[in-house]
Structure 1
Amino acid sequence: MPPMKDARLGASTFFASALPHDICGSNGLPLTPNSIKILGRFQILKTVSHPRLCRYVDISRGKHERLIVVAEHYERSLEDFQRAGKPVSQDKVLQVAYEILEGLEFMNKHGMMHRALAPRNVLMDCRGNVKLAKFGLYHMTNHGADVDFPIGYPSYLAPEVIAKGPSRPSDCSHGELPRPSGPKVDVWSLGILLFELCVVRSESALVCHVTLRLAGCMDDIVTVLAEEHGCLDVIKELPENVLTLLRKCLTFQPSRRPTPSELLKDPALQEVSHLYTPFRKPVSLFSSSLRCAYLELPEDISELCQDEGEEYLAERSIEEVYHLWCLAGGDLEKELTNKEIIQSKPPICTLPNFLLEDGECFGQGRDRSFLLDDTTITLSLCQLKNRLKDVTGEAYYPLLDDEQSSLPQSNSSSELSAAVALPLVIRERDTEYQLLRIVLFDRLLQAYPYKKNQVWKEARVDIPPLLRGLTWAALLGIEGDIQAKYDGIDKDTPIPTDRQIEVDIPRCHQYDELLSSPQGHMKFRRVLKAWVVSHPDLVYWQGLDSLCAPFLYLNFNNEALAYACMSAFIPKYLYNFFLKDNSHVIQEYLTVFSQMIAFHDPELSNHLNEIGFIPDLYAIPWFLTMFTHVFPLHKIFHLWDTLLLGNSSFPFCIGVAILQQLRDRLLANGFNECILLFSDLPEIDIERCVRESINLFCWTPKSATYRQHAQPPKVAGDNNGFGKTPSYYSSDYQDLPKTDLSREPLKLSELKAESSPRISAEDLIDLCELSGSGHCKAPTKKTKSSKPKILAVDIRSSEDFSRGHIPGSINIPYSTAFGPDGELVQCPATSTLQSFRGRVIVIVSHAVMRAFAAHLVKVNYPRVCILDGGINKMKFTGLLTVPSPQI
Structure 2
Amino acid sequence: MILGKAQFGVSTFFASSHSNDKCGANGLPLTPNSIKIVGRFQYLKTLNHPNVCKYLDCVRGKHERLMLVQEHYTNNLEIARKTGKYQREESLLRLGFEVLQGLTYLNRHGVTHRNLSYQNILFDSEDKVKLLDCGVYYMTDYGATVRFPIGKMTYMSPEVFSFGPVKIDDDTELSTLPSSSPKVDVWSLGCILLELVTGKQLWKDSSLQNIIKKVTTLAKNEDDAFNFFVQEIQCENEIKGLKESTLQLLRLCLTVNPKNRPAPCELLQHESFVQCNLKQEMPKNGYHMFSTVLRCRYLELPVLSDGDKDEVVDYLSERSMEEVYYLWKLAGGDLEAVLKKVGMIKAKPSVTILPILTLDSGDVLGEGRDQAELWDTRVVLLSLDQLRQRLSDMDGKAYYPLLENENSSRDAIPTSLSNADLANTANLPLVIKEKDIEHQFHRVILYERLIKGYPYKRNDILREARVDIPPLFRHLVWAAILDVKGDIQAEYESIDKETPTGTDRQIAVDIPRCHQYHELLASPTAHAKFKRVLKAWVVSHPQYVYWQGLDSLCAPFLALHFNDEALAYSCIKAFIPKYLYNFFLKDNSPVIQEYLAVFSHLIAFHDPELSNHMEGIGFIPDLYAIPWFLTMFAHVFPLHKVYHLWDTLLLGNSSFPLCVGVAILQQFHDRLLSFGFNECILLFSDMPEIDIQQCVKDSIQIFCRTPKSATYRQHARPVAKKADETPNASYYSRDYNDQASNELSMEPLSLDELKSEKGPRISAEDLLELGDYLGNGAQRSPTKTTTNVKPMLLVIDVRSPDEFRRGTMPGSINIPFQSAFSPEGDLVPCSAVATLKQNRGQVKVVVGSRGRNASNFANELVRLGYTRVCTLHKGIDVLRQTGILTVPPADL
Aligned length: 871
Q: Whole-Å Cα distance in 2 between the matches of residues 171 and 809 of structure 1?
A: 75
Matches within 5 A, 1:34-73: 34-73=33-72
**Contact residue 155 and residue 205 of structure 1 kept, 8 A:** no
**Contact residue 154 and residue 162 of structure 1 kept, 8 A:** no
1:801-848 alpha-carbon deviations (Å, 9 max, x no partner): 222222222222223322222222222222221121021111111141
The residue number in structure 1 matching 2:616 is: 610
Match 2:467 to one of 448, 461, 464: 461
The residue number in structure 1 matching 2:245 is: 241
Secondary structure of 1:342's partner?
coil
Residue 856 of structure 2 is aligned to residue 856 of structure 1: no
Secondary structure of 1:469's partner?
helix
Q: Whole-Å Cα distance in 2 between the matches of residues 114 and 886 of structure 1?
A: 92
The residue number in structure 1 matching 2:411 is: none
Q: Whole-Å Cα distance in 1 between the matches of residues 203 and 325 of structure 2?
A: 36
The residue number in structure 1 matching 2:882 is: 877
Change (3 A) 1:307 1:858: farther
Q: Please, what TM-score do these two structures have when normalized by structure 1?
A: 0.94
The residue number in structure 1 matching 2:412 is: none
Greater Cα shift, 231-240 or 421-430: 231-240
The residue number in structure 1 matching 2:301 is: 297
The residue number in structure 1 matching 2:808 is: 805
Q: Please, what TM-score do these two structures have when normalized by structure 2?
A: 0.94
**Contact residue 817 and residue 857 of structure 2 kept, 8 A:** yes
Q: Whole-Å Cα distance in 1 between the matches of residues 171 and 736 of structure 2?
A: 59
Matches within 5 A, 1:783-794: 786-794=789-797
How far off is 1:288 after superposition? 1.7
Change (3 A) 1:93 1:85: closer
Percent identical among aligned pairs is 55
Matches within 5 A, 1:668-679: 668-679=674-685
Residue 129 of structure 2 is aligned to residue 126 of structure 1: no
The residue number in structure 1 matching 2:381 is: 378
Greater Cα shift, 695-704 or 763-772: 763-772
Match 1:562 to one of 562, 565, 568: 568
**Contact residue 17 and residue 33 of structure 2 kept, 8 A:** yes
Secondary structure of 1:69's partner?
strand
Residue 406 of structure 2 is aligned to residue 400 of structure 1: no
How far off is 1:739 after superposition? 1.5
How far off is 1:542 after superposition? 0.6
RMSD: 2.5
Q: Which amino acid aligns with 1:554?
A: L
How far off is 1:224 after superposition? 3.7
Matches within 5 A, 1:309-328: 309-328=312-331
The residue number in structure 2 matching 1:835 is: 838
Change (3 A) 1:29 1:234: same
Q: Which amino acid aligns with 2:75?
A: R
The residue number in structure 1 matching 2:32 is: 33
How far off is 1:652 after superposition? 0.9
Change (3 A) 1:302 1:773: farther
How far off is 1:283 after superposition? 4.0
Q: Whole-Å Cα distance in 2 between the matches of residues 237 and 778 of structure 1?
A: 105
Q: Whole-Å Cα distance in 2 between the matches of residues 856 and 215 of structure 1?
A: 91
Q: Whole-Å Cα distance in 2 between the matches of residues 11 and 167 of structure 1?
A: 26
Secondary structure of 2:188's partner?
helix
How far off is 1:203 after superposition? 5.1
Q: Whole-Å Cα distance in 2 between the matches of residues 61 and 533 of structure 1?
A: 36
How far off is 1:168 after superposition? 5.1
Secondary structure of 1:232's partner?
coil
Q: Whole-Å Cα distance in 2 between the matches of residues 478 and 365 of structure 1?
A: 53
Change (3 A) 1:174 1:380: closer
How far off is 1:173 after superposition? 8.8
**Contact residue 118 and residue 153 of structure 1 kept, 8 A:** yes
Q: Whole-Å Cα distance in 2 between the matches of residues 237 and 688 of structure 1?
A: 77
Match 1:251 to one of 248, 255, 258: 255
Secondary structure of 2:71's partner?
strand
The residue number in structure 1 matching 2:689 is: 683
Q: 5+ unaligned residues in a row in structure 2: which ranges?
A: 408-414
Residue 213 of structure 2 is aligned to residue 214 of structure 1: no
Matches within 5 A, 1:332-731: 332-352=335-355, 364-403=367-406, 406=416, 408=418, 416-714=422-720, 717=722, 721=725, 723-725=727-729, 727-730=731-734
**Contact residue 17 and residue 147 of structure 1 kept, 8 A:** yes
Secondary structure of 2:822's partner?
coil
How far off is 1:639 after superposition? 0.5
Change (3 A) 1:422 1:376: same
Secondary structure of 1:876's partner?
helix
Matches within 5 A, 1:726-765: 727-730=731-734, 732-765=735-768
Q: Whole-Å Cα distance in 1 between the matches of residues 19 and 886 of structure 2?
A: 83
Greater Cα shift, 647-656 or 160-169: 160-169
The residue number in structure 1 matching 2:270 is: 266
**Contact residue 853 and residue 866 of structure 1 kept, 8 A:** yes
Secondary structure of 2:237's partner?
helix
Q: Whole-Å Cα distance in 1 between the matches of residues 603 and 883 of structure 2?
A: 34
Q: Which amino acid aligns with 2:113?
A: H
Q: Whole-Å Cα distance in 2 between the matches of residues 778 and 833 of structure 1?
A: 14
Change (3 A) 1:177 1:728: same
How far off is 1:304 after superposition? 12
How far off is 1:310 after superposition? 1.5
Greater Cα shift, 455-464 or 199-208: 199-208
How far off is 1:385 after superposition? 1.3
Secondary structure of 1:235's partner?
coil
The residue number in structure 1 matching 2:109 is: 110
Q: Whole-Å Cα distance in 1 between the matches of residues 535 and 170 of structure 2?
A: 33
**Contact residue 85 and residue 91 of structure 2 kept, 8 A:** no
Secondary structure of 1:635's partner?
helix
**Contact residue 394 and residue 408 of structure 1 kept, 8 A:** no
Change (3 A) 1:337 1:727: closer
The residue number in structure 1 matching 2:159 is: 160
**Contact residue 722 and residue 729 of structure 1 kept, 8 A:** no
How far off is 1:275 after superposition? 4.9
Q: Which amino acid aligns with 1:341?
A: M
Q: Which amino acid aligns with 1:774?
A: G
Secondary structure of 1:119's partner?
coil
Q: Which amino acid aligns with 1:712?
A: P
Secondary structure of 2:69's partner?
strand
